[in-house]
């Protein structure tokens, strides 16, 4: 840490980064769960197949992330990052509300569009945090070895 402090990153930013990284990780996990649940809502006709219990746990985790986010001490150099992290948490909460609407039998295409927009907004804000401070990079699954193998398999089938 001494070398990072010597290179212009002050201790307050390092402390923020350590605490905010835990919040971001939790938000990413929650977003993955609500996105999976959303996919099930949009594709599954049987309400019994929907994991309402797990989405309730994810919602509780989102509230914990929101509380932890509000408790962060934000140095001025991290204000822009914190803004996007807050917006990601807000959009995740919006996604939960939209998913609840989509769980109703009379959910419309507009309701599903609202859910998709909420998920997209949360993802984009989390991506923005990755560009603003070091240590918040997101994994690009398109670059994973399984993605390369999948692309090769698709290409082989097309031949």
CATH code of the domain containing 125: 1.20.120
Residues 74 and 56 sit within 8 Å (Cβ to Cβ): no
pLDDT attached to residue 134 = 67
Paired tokens of 4: 């990072």
Neighbours of 152 (CB within 10 A): 10
What's the CA gap between 98 and 107, in Å, rounded? 10
Q: What's the whole-model pTM score?
A: 0.75
pLDDT attached to residue 2 = 45
Specify the number of domains making up the chain: 1
Domain of residue 141 covers: 2-158
Give the CA dihedral 104, 46, 55, 106, nearest 10 degrees. -10
Give me the tens of pLDDT residue by residue for the chain, a chain 159 residues long: 444 444 556 898 889 989 999 999 999 999 999 998 888 888 877 655 556 777 888 889 999 999 999 999 999 999 999 999 999 999 999 999 999 898 888 889 999 999 999 999 999 999 998 888 766 665 554 555 554 555 665 666 566
C-alpha triplet 31, 33, 36: angle, nearest 5°: 110
What's the CA gap between 127 and 133, in Å, rounded? 11
């Amino acid at each position: 840490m001494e070398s990072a402090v010597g290179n212009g990153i002050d201790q307050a930013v390092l402390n923020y980064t350590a605490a905010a990284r835990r919040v971001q990780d939790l938000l990413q996990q929650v977003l993955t769960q609500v996105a999976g649940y959303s996919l099930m809502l949009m594709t599954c006709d049987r309400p019994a197949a929907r994991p309402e219990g797990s989405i309730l746990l994810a919602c509780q985790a989102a509230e914990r992330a929101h509380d932890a986010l509000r408790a962060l001490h934000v140095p001025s150099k991290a204000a822009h990052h914190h803004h996007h992290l807050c917006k990601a948490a807000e959009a995740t909460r919006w996604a939960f509300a939209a998913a609840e609407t989509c769980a109703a039998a009379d959910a419309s295409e507009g309701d599903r569009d609202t859910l998709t927009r909420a998920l997209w907004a949360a993802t984009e804000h989390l991506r923005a945090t990755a560009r603003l401070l070091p240590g918040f990079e997101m994994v690009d699954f398109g670059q994973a070895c399984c993605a390369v193998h999948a692309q090769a398999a698709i290409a082989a089938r097309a031949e």
